[in-house]
């Protein structure tokens, strides 16, 4: 008989997450991934934080880019109604951001991201993280999400197969950025350069989404993240 070193109760947030993943894993998923060159984004973030006395994170840029990309492919911002007879495409782009807090994994929601610039999103995200770490998230803080983001960049993980929450059609994972040799064009010639690359993976409910909207979304993500100055604008 195997000896047990520890018994962990299956309850609370862990059980809630588990039950949601049981539902999400019961339907067909479709996935696509793409590499994004974040070399310029990292340099721009460092410069703009110094110039403006800001504290923008890489995740803030990812969230801002996702909000804009979703607006270009609205079907990504959708879900079934309760009896699964209709697909609701939402006009509010409410992004659930998976967050490892002092009290476990939570998914606070940034509401109406389409109306906010990167600085507003950053401030709201920091406030939600503080509430999560203090164990003070309220039901409204994690309700009505329409799209999910999980950033595993700090985990030294270079790929992911994320599952969306049952009330959302899609979720995006941002993986660890790393330096890689990349073929780039310079003066009309191909050359190899060392660039910092990040893989992003989009997973969608295949009953609602197919390859076209997923490809559209991740290619818009790539375009936006590789032009980081555009992400500081209110509208694009």
Residues carrying an active site annotation: 206
d(CA 210, CA 222): 19
Helix (H, G, I), strand (E, B) or coil at 38: coil
Classify residue 3 as left (phi > 0), alpha (psi -120 to 50) or beta.
Answer: beta
Residue 139 · residue 110 · CB < 8 Å:
no
DSSP 17: H
* DSSP state letters, 2-48: PPPS------HHHHHHHHHHHHHTTS-EEEEEEEEE-HHHHHHHHHH
Q: Which two tokens stand for residue 103?
A: 């009290």
DSSP assignment letter at 168: -
Orientation of helix 118-133 relative to helix 58-72, angle to 10°: 120
What are phi and psi for residue 202, nearest 5 degrees?
A: -115, 130
Bridge partner list, 173: 150, 201
DSSP state letter for 4 = P
């Amino acid at each position: 008989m195997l000896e047990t070193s520890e018994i962990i109760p299956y309850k609370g947030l862990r059980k809630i997450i588990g039950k949601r993943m049981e539902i999400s894993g019961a339907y067909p998923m479709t996935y696509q991934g793409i590499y994004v060159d974040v070399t310029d984004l990292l340099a721009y973030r460092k410069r703009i934080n110094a110039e403006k006395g800001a504290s923008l994170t890489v995740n803030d840029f990812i969230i801002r880019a996702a909000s804009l990309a979703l607006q270009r492919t609205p079907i990504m911002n959708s879900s079934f109604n309760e009896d699964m007879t209709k697909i609701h495409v939402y006009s509010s782009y409410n992004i659930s951001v998976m967050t490892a807090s002092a009290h476990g994994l939570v998914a606070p929601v940034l509401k109406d991201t389409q109306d906010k610039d990167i600085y507003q999103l950053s401030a709201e995200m920091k406030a939600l993280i503080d509430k999560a770490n203090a164990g003070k998230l309220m039901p409204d803080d994690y309700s009505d999400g329409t799209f999910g983001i999980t950033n595993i960049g700090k985990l030294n993980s270079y790929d992911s197969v994320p599952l969306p929450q049952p009330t959302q059609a899609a979720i995006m994972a941002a993986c660890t950025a790393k330096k890689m040799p990349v073929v780039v064009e310079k003066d009309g010639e191909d050359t190899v350069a060392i660039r910092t690359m990040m893989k992003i993976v989009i997973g969608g409910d295949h009953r609602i989404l197919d390859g076209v909207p997923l490809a559209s979304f991740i290619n818009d993500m790539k375009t936006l993240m590789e032009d980081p100055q555009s992400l500081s604008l209110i509208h694009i």
